[in-house]
Amino acid sequence: MGVTLSRAIQWSSDGDKLENSHLNNDILTEILLFTEEFSNRHPAEARLTFIEPLQWKTSLEVSDFTSDIYDIREESVMSQERDDNGCPLLLLNPPDITVHSFYHLSNILQLNKDKNPREVQTCLEANKEILKKNFGSSMPSINEDNLFNILFQLDEKLLDIAVKPINREGRLSPAAVNTEVDLLKTFCGTGEIHLLKSVRYTSDYVFSNGCRSPPWRQMDGEICSLIIETCDTEPMLFITCNTNGVFLDEGLKGGGGEKSHKAVESYNSPIITEVFKDIVTLLKNKSPHFAEGADKEDFAIQDVPSAKKILHVETVDAEKTGQTLKPYDSEEKNALEKARQQPVRNKPGNRKKKLEPSLKWKNLGLTSPYDDGEVKPRKIRESKKIFEYSTKSLASESKKKANISGSSLPGLQSSQKIKTPGGVEDFSESSSEDEEDEEQHERRAETATDLPSEYWQIQKLVKYLKGANQTATVIVLCSLRDFNLVQDTCQLAIRDVGGLEVLINLLDTDEIRCKIGSLKILKEISCNSQIRRTIANLGGLQTMVSILDSPDKELKFLAAETIANVAKFRRARRMVRQHGGIQRLVELLDCVPAGESLSLEQQRDVEVARCGALALWSCSKSTWNKEAIRRAGGIPMLGRLLKSPQKNMLIPVVGTLQECASEKSYRIAIQTEGMIEDLVKNLSCDNQELQMHCASAIFKCAEDKHTRDLVRQYDGLKPLVTLLNEAENKQLLAATTGAIWKCSISMENVAKFQEYKVVEILVRLLTNQPEEVLVNVVGALGECGQISENLATIRRSSGIQPLVNLLTGTNQALLVNVTKAVGACATDPENMTIIDRLDGVRLLWSLLKNPNPEVQASAAWAICPCIENAKDAGEMVRSFVGGLELIVNLLKSQNKDVLASVCAAIAKIAKDVENLAVITDHGVVPMLASLTNTEEDKLRRYLAEAIACCCTWGSNCVSFGEAGAVAPLVRYLHSKDPLVHQATARALFELSKDPNNCITMHENGVVKLLLVMIGSTDEILQEAAASCVANIRRLALANDKAKYG
């Protein structure tokens, strides 16, 4: 973020605050989304501590912090996690906040989303040197530090965002400079008749906005650099073209050749003496020979087209504080802004010659650089986004230029207006569906014989469409619909000849028939990923959103269905929301009549609602859109539609609900609105797609116990079991097994599933199934294993071996579930014999090396019953080479669940004396003692058990006291968890066998607490508490006897 914060982002005049601008908002949004997801995408790097903490004045309050990873007090909050110096990695004393790692930055931004944008802005304003605070004064290289590499990639993305919108605000444009250079090259050569010897660019790499200068120099308005060799000046001229003019860089003078060329590539700050309006004017000033020749009537250089005469593709900005060049004044900027907002018309006179179709450029899909609404293929656009700095050779840059050079498309000189795309693409918005492949591959090169006749027929029709009147337009649109528009060839034929621009422009006409015809075609062809991106780039979504307000119902549902097709990628979903589309789409749902027998007008109402639900389904793949749908009142409307007898409407409605059910607010609403009953009812319908979406919605909602109970009350368990027979439909099977898995978390549901013999069916699904099915099947078996009868059923159904075989997989979610299932099976001694014979315990132990903390924890939990029920557990554990050292080293983990599970496993291991001696040699005592200050009850329980079991070897009891483990254990007795009390009392009893430990316990008030627990109904707790008090009492009596005789 170094270059962006110092060069791209816009600061106020005093340099202390960020300006309120579109550019800053886009950059802050990207930083916000990047930081929110940082801990999920880069868990290891998120835990790294900064050299210096980030500090700022926050708007967050103590009440915003609800996570159990923070110690929350009346007026402050601090993280339980601390650095090497014992300082908390997050400290809040409102309004001051101090943060030491990206992990806590990510957590902060997830606390209160309403305050997020302001929080990011305040943090950046207070910490301008973020990289120095992260890494110190000596920056690592990209290859040395992974975190630095991640931030470097973010910086490139932010620079790209900053460069994109900076256009059309200077006197010069890349197109104008390019035209002037091309003209000057015609006057180059040797001899007196030529005006120049040579004209060449310093870089052959052309960015998507037409500039050749690197992004950080584009921020200063720079377009490109030139080396011009005149006939009468020495040395050669090094010229820089900027949006504010052209100037000679006096800082670069040399003998020319390769050395000078490299100097141009590496310089940072040009030395400017005088600024000229264009290259010709500069050359006239510097070269008398050129000026004399240019003034002759034979050389009409004066007629070089200015920037105002050329339709810009993308230009660069000269807005930069401290810039040597004089920037445009505000009035001229406002005038340019207004001009950009007017419809841009492509005049035929802008091109001297109309080119004929060329298969070479047609197959590349390139459009004219003179068309304002130009849309380039994604592959080319992406390849130009990444700047390769100066490490790439000039030869490789030349190859890149060859790949991105374009030609003009014939027939694209439409007289209709073309809309420009708005906004910067949001790369992190979608939360519930992976973004479709950004690298869209164009179709392969085709020869004239490969293209079908329909391709050329469609192109002819589109050309007629451009100049037709209303009646002819309707006829052409009808003719286009006669083609099979589902075929790629027909779709791309419309795009290649500029038909998309015409179709979108027709949506702005007042002729209803033209709009309907255009939307019907757009609806068909928008199934193509390249087409829908082009529609979004041309501003088609904004127009279709506005059509949703039309009184014509056919226009409404056609626009809504087309939006549903286009909104398959993040930027399109965001554009729909930003232009008010979510509110309008929700309003479309409120027009459905009751009853099954409908009039023609009522059928139109149903179709409007159905298409509105379809569009919301596509848009709901964005987290922000889910919240927008909820705020617009979409949940109750979807609930009403769910009760509709119109079957064709239920699929998009349930699809939207299951997509949104990933959010807790929706899951609660689905319960309270009574939708569970309708979802259960539709499980028994005859439409597999509807069944799949209903099962998926139940899968997501059944995280809540009340939902699981409702599914059982509405008799939804039996239909789910019945759907397991549809093994051919893998999507339906995945949703069904997922719903069964989550429902089986409740013991009452497990008992029902036992009646339906679901375990036998699930065991049969353990082989020859995709991983998404296996994850759910194994998860369901793990939950069903809560009942001992089901464990015997798994064994009888030959389910142990396929479960053990799955331990060798790589899918992390599957490994978490299969370890839990194997652990549940291991609680049965007969099952444990089979697991041991299949080498299942060794496989479980090897998963402790897995980098995923969830897999580590689940494997450690599974190891516990294996050790407990194995015939010769001690020998089995010792047979694993390095196994004991591995599990002891896991006590260094930062994950609380891993620590708890490892402590539980150590408690089982320590019951064997030889194994206890080995783990003692590996330093288990100081490691356990270092964990005793935890506030987590789950960890406290198993940590106390491990300490109790480890005290039985040698001087471990004394060592725990010396390591300071006794006093924190006494505080465990204040916990509200009775299981923590039992384990702690046992540990204290073992520790009380050392006199010094007894003294420490007494000083910390343990006797009063234990006396209360002696009266407990838990016999183990009673005995341990009484035994500990007895040891303390014996020490006191011995002390009195020694003192008084």
pLDDT in tens, 824-865: 999 999 999 999 999 999 999 999 999 999 999 999 999 999
Helix 529-537 vs helix 499-506: crossing angle, to nearest 10:
60
- Written as one letter, the residue type at 356 is E
Q: Which residue has the tokens 């090094």?
A: 238
φ, ψ at 222 (rounded to 5°): -75, 135
What is the longest distance spanned by two Cα atoms in the chain?
129
H/E segment holding residue 752 = helix 747-755
Residue 778 exposure: Cα atoms within 13 Å on the Cβ side: 31
Nearest one of 613, 619, 515 to 567, comparing CA atoms: 619
Find the range with the poorest average confidence among 436-445, 453-462, 935-944: 436-445
Two structure tokens written together for 527: 């199934």
Quote the pLDDT of residue 5.
57
**Does 587 score more than 50 pLDDT?**
yes
Pair type for strands 196-201 and 272-276: unpaired
Mean pLDDT of 379-400: 34
**Does 606 score more than 90 pLDDT?**
no
**Does 370 score more than 50 pLDDT?**
no
**CA gap 6, 686 in Å, rounded:** 61
The C-alpha angle 727, 729, 735, rounded to 5 degrees, equals 90
Quote the pLDDT of residue 903.
96
**Does 568 score more than 60 pLDDT?**
yes
Pair type for strands 49-57 and 237-242: unpaired
Mean pLDDT of 196-207: 88
Find the range with the poorest average confidence among 398-402, 721-725, 732-736, 855-859: 398-402
CB neighbour list of residue 625: distance below 8 Å, 6 or more residues apart: 573, 576, 577, 582, 619
Nearest one of 649, 648, 584, 646 to 619, comparing CA atoms: 584
**CA gap 213, 205 in Å, rounded:** 8
Quote the pLDDT of residue 592.
63
Find the range with the poorest average confidence among 161-175, 235-249, 733-747, 771-785: 161-175
**CA gap 381, 164 in Å, rounded:** 12
Find the range with the poorest average confidence among 121-125, 353-357, 688-692: 353-357
φ, ψ at 840 (rounded to 5°): -70, -35
**CA gap 621, 629 in Å, rounded:** 11
**CA gap 523, 558 in Å, rounded:** 7
**Does 308 score more than 60 pLDDT?**
no
538 close to 371: Cβ distance less than 8 angstroms = no
Quote the pLDDT of residue 586.
93
368 close to 374: Cβ distance less than 8 angstroms = yes
DSSP string of 615-657, one letter each residue: HHHHHTTBHHHHHHHHHTTHHHHHHHHHT-S-HHHHHHHHHHH
The C-alpha angle 931, 937, 942, rounded to 5 degrees, equals 60
Quote the pLDDT of residue 414.
32
Nearest one of 502, 673, 653 to 586, comparing CA atoms: 653
H/E segment holding residue 466 = helix 453-466
Cα Rg of the chain, angstroms: 36
Kindly list the distances between the CA atom of residue 214 and the CA atoms of 159, 492, 662, 913, 974, in Å, as whole numbers in the listed order.
10, 34, 42, 68, 63
Pair type for strands 90-93 and 196-201: unpaired
Q: Which residue has the higher pLDDT, 67 or 404?
A: 67
Kindly list the distances between the CA atom of residue 583 and the CA atoms of 168, 221, 380, in Å, as whole numbers in the listed order.
33, 40, 35
Quote the pLDDT of residue 164.
61
Find the range with the poorest average confidence among 159-168, 482-491, 992-1001: 159-168
CB neighbour class for 377 (10 Å; exposed up to 12, middle 13-18, buried from 19): buried
Find the range with the poorest average confidence among 118-132, 246-260, 713-727: 246-260
**CA gap 1045, 1041 in Å, rounded:** 5
Helix 730-743 vs helix 688-701: crossing angle, to nearest 10:
30
Kindly list the distances between the CA atom of residue 16 and the CA atoms of 10, 128, 326, 666, 972, in Å, as whole numbers in the listed order.
11, 9, 23, 41, 49
Nearest one of 84, 235, 217, 219 to 165, comparing CA atoms: 219
Quote the pLDDT of residue 270.
56
Nearest one of 1003, 1007, 913, 1020 to 964, comparing CA atoms: 1003
981 close to 973: Cβ distance less than 8 angstroms = yes
**CA gap 621, 429 in Å, rounded:** 9
Kindly list the distances between the CA atom of residue 559 and the CA atoms of 7, 287, 465, 515, in Å, as whole numbers in the listed order.
42, 61, 21, 10
**Does 431 score more than 50 pLDDT?**
no
Q: Which residues pair with 101 in a beta bridge?
A: 49
* pLDDT band with cut points at 50, 70 and 90 for residue 871: confident
The pLDDT tens digits for 896-937 are 999 999 999 999 999 999 999 999 999 999 999 999 999 999
**CA gap 660, 623 in Å, rounded:** 8
Quote the pLDDT of residue 297.
38
Residue 639 exposure: Cα atoms within 13 Å on the Cβ side: 17
863 close to 844: Cβ distance less than 8 angstroms = yes
Quote the pLDDT of residue 368.
34
* pLDDT band with cut points at 50, 70 and 90 for residue 272: low
On the question of a cis peptide bond just before residue 95, with omega within 30 degrees of 0, the verdict is yes
Mean pLDDT of 439-464: 67
**Does 373 score more than 80 pLDDT?**
no
* pLDDT band with cut points at 50, 70 and 90 for residue 601: confident
* pLDDT band with cut points at 50, 70 and 90 for residue 338: very low
Nearest one of 123, 24, 108, 28 to 69, comparing CA atoms: 108
593 close to 541: Cβ distance less than 8 angstroms = no
692 close to 720: Cβ distance less than 8 angstroms = no
DSSP secondary structure code for residue 213 in this structure: S
Quote the pLDDT of residue 1045.
56
**CA gap 216, 320 in Å, rounded:** 11
CB neighbour list of residue 165: distance below 8 Å, 6 or more residues apart: 22, 23, 26, 424
498 close to 412: Cβ distance less than 8 angstroms = yes
Q: Which residue has the tokens 């500039």?
A: 211
The pLDDT tens digits for 134-180 are 777 776 765 557 888 888 788 777 777 766 654 444 467 888 898 88
Highest mean pLDDT: which range of 48-62, 389-403, 511-525 = 511-525
Mean pLDDT of 464-476: 83
